[in-house]
Chain A
Amino acid sequence: MSYRLDGLVAALLADDGSEAWPGAVPARVENVLGSMPRAARAGVRAAAAAVDAYALLRAGRGMGRLTPQERETVLSSLAARPALLPVLDALKVPVMLAAGTERMLHKEPPARPVLPPPADPPLDCVPSTEWPARATADAVVVGSGAGGAVAARTLARAGMRVLVLEEGRHHTTGDFGRRAPLDRFTELYRDGGGTIALGNPPVVLPVGRAVGGTTVVNSGTCYRTPDHVLERWRDTFGLPLADADAFGAYLDEAERTLQVATQPMDVLGRNGRTALLGAERLGWEAAPLRRNAPGCKGSCQCVVGCPTGAKQSVQLSVLPDACSAGARIVTGAYVRRILVERDRPGGPRACGVAVRRPDGSELEILSPLVVVAAGALNSPPLLRRSGLGGHPRLGRNLAVHPAASVAGRFAEPVTAWQGVLQSVGVEELHGDGILIEATAGPPGMGSFVLPGVGRGLRAELDGANSLATVGAMIADLPSGRVLGARHPLLRYDLAPRDGRRLMRAVTAMGELLFAAGAEEVLTGIAAAPSARTQAELEEKLSRLSARQLHLSAFHPTGTVALGADPQTAPADEHGRLRGVRGVLVADGSALPSCPEVNPQLTIMATSLAVSNGSL
């Protein structure tokens, strides 16, 4: 039985009945929770029940039956206890997402697009319910993201009968334009975007689940793999494919496919301009990012599917080529396991996949080649449940690019959600493993955890258009691992070095915002929510540790790493999984270490190298 959240939502948003939109928030929160994993859902409900119980003890009635003033008093007394702040923050995130969306829909309804969305290039998609229970192919690609799409295109162009299996469904640009960002968010992400790596602090790790994988919901930033990373892969991990020239050619091909170009200034938006201004005043190296979105209209909705079709995620760029070369995509196809023939002379050999349809029925596809491209979080469990998870390093070596964000309050409206979502890169500290990127949330979906509860939070929500947000991700040590076979269970223990890097990144972002003219900087840390000067910020941060940050991460890599050393790498230097023949690894999990930049191009180039090498 679900626990009703009405009272808690009303308390958090200080709903006094003066406006209509807070009343619609509880239903939307329920909607958001419905798409989250069961454990996260239960956690939120338990926290809400605990808050209600506290209200009962203190005021004699549950939250829902208190007056607005009583609610405010109860919440304030709760918020006065520092130990309870993380619990309140966990409750605030879904409520803020829902509140932002309802507020936007009621107060600033999005204008209907003037032009109908462009038609997507055709894809040969078949829902798994319409696919026969038995089929054969020359190659099966598990996953249709950056790695899988490229592998499918390479193999299909070589004349192979290729099937791409995708657990999510196919969303068109037209679909994106018709629905509110939050509705798309819960559908396009695995676990409703609530994937969390356990650790101290926990890290939110959202990954996409749709035809096109995470490229449908990434920010479109396309960095080439840095030379020093390739050098490390070649020299330390023994990867011949990381040769700068050869890999450079693959990167070129990926850039051509995605039409990567520097983002023009016209639709950059004030959020990006603010970051540029701050960097300019500090003399820091900064520029608009190179992106795969020619003709971007600045909808600021990259992370919930580009509604204008400008962002060339792989379902608009790579997969149409693959389909025109004969590849087919089966959607709603959860690969239960890779079929292995263990009695083959010469050792076990993959021979296909067993797939579960949404209705629970199963289908099988026989194929002598299986390309694993289910993403760094899902490839290891797939291999484990296929009986191929014997390598001790499988699932380990998880690097995620942990990221923190900081907001600056400006005197003038910034309206961060008008313009490019991730617009400007500040590379001043990139040599130290810190990459700052001006990143806003989609309309109604501010990702930044605003401070306060009750009236304070309500005021922050009302003043959200004066906030500029920047985020920083750091090059991290591979301190995570993916456990589990049926479902991935993530563990990420932030390394002390990376914690220091993060704190330094927060300081640097504060400096950037103050330089741009921010009146106040919001840290997102409950214990030190804001600072009015750089000195105050640094003084407050000096008393904190990275464990108190709200961390998120978007680039999981390295869990089935390629490498020449059979002891440390589950896959060999050509991308072939060790211990079985006929399995290629061609997604983010193949990267031997953290790529230090947004990884889409790197994953595509690696997949190109692996799939070309298999021909």
Chain B
Amino acid sequence: MGARGTAFSEVMAGSVRLAGEREPRPVRLDLDVRADEVLRPMGTTEGRLTGRVRVAGWADDTGIRGELEISPLARRRIRYRVHFTAGGRSCMLDGWKSISPARPVKSMTVLPFVLLEDGEQTGEGTLRFPLATQLLPFLGSFRFPRRTASPSGAVGPGAADPDGLLPPRWDGAAGRTEVWYTTVTDPESGTGLWLHHELVAPADGSGAYAHGWVAQFPGNGQEPVRHARFGPEPWKPAGGQDRADEVSDGARGSGFTSGGIEAVPGRLRGSAGPFSWDLTEQPDGEPLFTFPRWSWRRPLLPAAQIVPAPQATYSGSFTHDGRELRLDDAQGATARIYGHGNARRWAWLHAHLGGGDVLEIVAAVSMRPVLRRLPPLVFLRLRKDGRTWPRRVERAAVGWAGAGRFRADIGLPVWTVTGRSGMRRVKVVVTQPEERTLALDYTDPDGSGAVCRNSETADAHILLERWWGRWRKEAEWSLDGTAHAEVGDR
């Protein structure tokens, strides 16, 4: 089963003759159909129905539920079972289109059905799909959305599982780097935290090592940014010779574990220099694929970044020099990077916009020949009201063969991203004041270096506009010291 589902709407109208009545009554069915897989013309697809049923003078139920069995070729049948209430009584409409190659149009549009109450037939009728008026709306209503978690909170089968995105990707190849990094903002103090866990497999084939750092960005802006590095330690693959007392049960192979430092599903802990931390992570939100989804499954790009749980919250203690910071449902996110190394130049933003909305931006210039001459490719994902814009991330990065791509102006202390896709445009201005920024040296697998300037207490201003005769403001967010951002160059 693939990652995408199917959704469409259908309207049918006809008549039904109820038991004991001589005259038929008009009936109309408005259906929204959702299936957990993309329609398979040669197979059978099961879908769920919601919508409204109206039987003149007898029933009008807007809360119908039902099942749809779509099998036009394999079973030559499209079966509708709709449960609804009429006058307080629970009824079911059961019928199917019987697909005939000899009469394709009639058999695809005519739905004979029976009405059942407690298994007993109470009516019989026929619904027709009005081709003249409904064909275009029907075809236009088709969507193939990525499947989401079910309303109960359980992740549906095949849906992306945040925990499933945390295990190491590294396959032993030389010249790779893999990163687990967590950024958190304490709502009480405004303090920003940065926990960076990195696995480097040098390009020269020498042993892979794990290292990282921890940094604290005080919220008052008065105290300096502090940080401490840990590692390097030789990387031990999952199930290796790790000391059991250093690793949580079941943690091996599920994330980053090295030298007593862990970044595994649900937990971050360790100590480095004057810092020690023990945080629990409560993931929330669908994974955000900042780069095209395929590039995470098949690492064809120089590197790719994802945010498995963009709405995570963190609780626990973070201690520096004996001063403990208690976190209680502090917002943040753990991101993942896997690839050949750092970019030539890059900028990154992770911004919680409130109400479950989140903005993730990576703008980068590749190290590869030819690509390094291009302007920064902007990978922008704005999740607003549960939907992600732009719908395809390639749209922001490359536009239409370059035309219409999103643009980034990378600099310090201010960098900006602008772009337009569909009927919307966005302008993002990020400010990283120097006193709230930490500069760190990075080392790529090939031994070359880069400098990253990171701030977990950055400011950001985001303006989202929508075209409706003219550009009108759709939303505007100003983040004061709660944006997580960085700029890197060489």
Contact = CB atoms under 8 A, between A and B. Distances in A.
A134 B75 contact: no
A342 B74 contact: yes
Nearest to B42: A343
Q: Interface size class for chain A?
A: 10 to 19
B388 interface: no
A476 interface: no
Given A133-B112, A134-B112, A343-B44, A364 B98 contact: yes
Contact of B74 (A135, A343, A366): A343
B94 interface: yes
Contact of B113 (A134, A339, A351, A366): A134
A354 interface: yes
Contacts, number: 37
Contacts of B419: none
Contacts of B43: 343
Contact of A132 (B44, B71, B74, B121): B121
Contacts of B98: 354, 362, 364
A341 interface: yes
B75 A351 contact: yes
Contacts of B50: none
A356 to B, nearest CB: 12
B308 interface: no
Contacts of A342: 74-75
A136 interface: yes
Interface in A355-371: 362, 364, 366
B132 to A, nearest CB: 24
**Overall SS of chain B's interface:** strand
Nearest to B73: A343
A364 B96 contact: yes
A134 B77 CA distance: 12
Interface in A115-153: 132-136
A62 B42 CA distance: 65
Nearest to B124: A132
B464 to A, nearest CB: 46
Interface in A227-280: none
B114 interface: yes
Interface in B149-196: none
A364 B112 CA distance: 10
Contact of B94 (A136, A339, A343): A136
Contacts of B76: 339
A134 B96 contact: yes
B259 interface: no
A136 B95 CA distance: 10
B113 A343 contact: no
Nearest to B74: A343
A134 B95 contact: yes
B85 interface: no
Contacts of A366: 96
A337 to B, nearest CB: 11
Interface in B30-82: 42-44, 71, 74-77
A362 B71 CA distance: 20
B340 to A, nearest CB: 43
B127 to A, nearest CB: 11
Interface in B99-145: 112-114, 121, 124, 126
Contacts of A354: 98
Residue of A132, A133, A134, A351 most packed against chain B (CB within 10 A): A134
Nearest to A363: B112
Nearest to A342: B74
Interface string A332-346: 000000010111000
Contact of A341 (B75, B95, B114, B124): B75
A439 B321 CA distance: 115
A366 B71 CA distance: 15
Contacts of B124: 132-133
A106 to B, nearest CB: 48
A481 B43 CA distance: 36
A343 B124 CA distance: 30
A341 B98 CA distance: 13
A343 B75 contact: yes
Nearest to B40: A343
Contacts of A364: 96, 98
Contacts of A132: 112, 114, 121, 124
A530 to B, nearest CB: 57
Interface string B15-43: 00000000000000000000000000011
Contacts of B42: 343
B78 to A, nearest CB: 12
B108 to A, nearest CB: 15
A135 B119 CA distance: 11
A364 B77 CA distance: 11
Q: Which of A132, A136, A351 has the largest count of B CB atoms less than 10 A from its CB?
A: A132
A366 B69 CA distance: 13
B34 to A, nearest CB: 21
B46 to A, nearest CB: 12
A92 to B, nearest CB: 44
A133 B113 CA distance: 7
Contacts of B95: 134
A334 B76 CA distance: 20
Contacts of A136: 94
Contacts of A135: 114, 121
B96 A343 contact: no
Interface string B271-290: 00000000000000000000
A351 B114 CA distance: 18
Interface in B248-288: none
Contacts of B75: 339, 341-343, 351
Nearest to A136: B94
22 contacts: A132-B112, A132-B121, A132-B124, A133-B126, A134-B94, A134-B113, A134-B114, A135-B114, A135-B121, A136-B94, A339-B75, A339-B76, A339-B77, A341-B44, A341-B71, A342-B75, A343-B75, A351-B75, A354-B98, A364-B96, A364-B98, A366-B96
Given A339-B77, A342-B74, 14 more contacts: A133-B112, A133-B126, A134-B95, A135-B114, A135-B121, A339-B76, A341-B74, A343-B43, A343-B44, A343-B71, A362-B98, A364-B96, A364-B98, A366-B96
Interface of A: 132-136, 339, 341-343, 351, 354, 362, 364, 366
